[in-house]
């Protein structure tokens, strides 16, 4: 088979500055101000997120990575040969490599991410490290309708959607179910879904993961305002907002906010927004699941459980579903 060593094709559906502006302004006009979490990931935000993944308190990444490493021979056997691997929110591609090292005769790798420079850098690295692999990145906001490259160009036996990191936790449960349905459409029979899910656990463990001592998560949260300042001509004063993250065990989710520490007005272009002291911008939800409830949700979306792997503390689950 041919040797590449470079990105075979790149599909750029990156949200335009106008789309970014529209969503930010609409979110700040709501009675309870909110900005979608997908906008964290500019180049600096992606780098800060990679730093979060290395934090002692952030158990998610190391737990999921160990699960993948420990079980990849079995995963590879269950997935079989000639897989077309589609990864959502591919980030730095570190977990992907665990699969790429073991999956035989992979047909193509399609990383999908909203963070363009980060995606291109990670895809280029992977193309160089796996020269026989067709790497066709897609930069897109996959929470919206999006088009894929023509998969039929490459011969493959089954499509596998890989969605690690508990990124699904950023969706509300209803949105998550819709996403699982969408993933079933994208995979199609005899497709599969390999997905990482963070589970409900001791609230103090979860709280610590989103309030790290070094303040990396705070910097990640505040970077959103810095990004809006530079890309949308805004004047957020980063010293007048602070990071807040709190796990609500009843709702089963971490809510992340930026809290205005004083009454203030902020300008974005020629629009003005007022903040009361203590008023917040809701920037992220990170839902934690009960494993049985998550499997039931996947079932409603058309998936059948094939196998689930969990760590000994039952902090995290990697689930393999088939159609
Ligand atoms: C990438 C959505 C899985 O919710 O844990 C990390 C993002 N936010 N620290 C998460 C995040 C704050 C992360 N996800």
Locate 283 and state its tokens: 């920037």
Cβ–Cβ < 8 Å for 285, 253 = yes
Q: How far is the CA of 154 from the centre of ligand 1 (A)?
A: 33
Tens of pLDDT, residues 202-256: 999 999 999 999 999 999 999 999 999 999 999 999 999 999 999 999 999 999 9
Locate 217 and state its tokens: 């998560």
**Which protein residue's CA is at the shortest distance from atom 2 of ligand 1?**
167
User: If we measure between CA atoms, which residue out of 21, 36, 81, 35 comes closest to residue 229?
Assistant: 21
Q: Which residues lie closer than 8 Å to 93 by C-beta, 6 or more apart?
A: 111, 122, 123, 125, 126
pLDDT at 13: 86
Tens of pLDDT, residues 19-45: 999 999 999 999 999 999 999 999 999
Q: How far is the CA of 2 from the centre of ligand 1 (A)?
A: 38
Of 196, 284, 289, the one to substitute when testing ligand 1's pocket (max ligand atoms within 8 A of C-beta) is 284
63 touches ligand 1 (CB under 6 Å): no
Cα 130 to Cα 61, 99, 100, 125, 256, distances in angstroms: 23, 12, 8, 9, 38
Position in ligand 1 atom list of the atom nearest CA 170 = 2
Tens of pLDDT, residues 284-308: 999 999 999 999 999 999 999 999 9
pLDDT at 154: 80
For the beta sheet containing 241-248, the strands, ordered from the edge strand earlier in sequence to the opposite edge, are 241-248, 253-260, 280-287
Q: For the CA atoms of 225, 227, 231, 232, what is the dihedral angle to 10 degrees?
A: -10
pLDDT at 15: 84
């Amino acid at each position: 088979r041919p040797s590449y060593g470079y990105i075979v094709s790149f599909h750029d559906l990156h949200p335009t500055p106008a789309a970014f502006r529209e969503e930010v302004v609409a979110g700040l006009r709501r009675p309870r101000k909110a900005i979608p979490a997908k906008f964290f990931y500019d180049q600096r935000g992606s780098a800060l997120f990679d730093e979060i993944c290395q934090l002692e308190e952030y158990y998610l990444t190391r737990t999921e990575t160990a699960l993948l490493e420990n079980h990849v021979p079995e995963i590879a056997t269950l997935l079989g040969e000639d897989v077309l691997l589609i990864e959502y929110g591919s980030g730095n591609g570190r977990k992907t490599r665990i699969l790429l090292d073991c999956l035989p005769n992979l047909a193509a790798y399609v990383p999908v991410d909203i963070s363009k420079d980060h995606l291109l850098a990670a895809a280029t690295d992977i193309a160089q490290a796996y020269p026989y692999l067709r790497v066709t990145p897609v930069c897109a906001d996959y929470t919206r309708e999006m088009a894929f490259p023509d998969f039929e160009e490459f011969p493959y036996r089954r499509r596998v959607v890989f969605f690690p990191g508990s990124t699904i936790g950023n969706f509300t449960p209803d949105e998550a179910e819709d996403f699982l349905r969408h993933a079933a459409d994208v995979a199609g029979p005899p497709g599969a879904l390999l997905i990482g899910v963070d589970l409900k656990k001791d609230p103090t463990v979860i709280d610590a993961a989103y309030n790290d001592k070094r303040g990396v998560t705070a910097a990640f949260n505040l970077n959103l305002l810095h990004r809006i300042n530079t890309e949308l001509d805004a004047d957020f004063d980063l010293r007048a907002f602070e990071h807040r993250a709190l796990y609500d065990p009843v709702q089963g989710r971490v809510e992340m906010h930026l809290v205005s520490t004083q009454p203030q007005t902020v300008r974005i272009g020629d629009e003005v927004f007022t903040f009361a002291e203590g008023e917040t911008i809701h920037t992220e939800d990170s839902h934690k699941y009960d494993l049985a409830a998550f499997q039931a949700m996947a079932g409603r979306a058309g998936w059948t459980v094939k196998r689930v792997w969990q760590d000994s503390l039952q902090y995290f689950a990697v689930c393999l579903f088939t159609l």
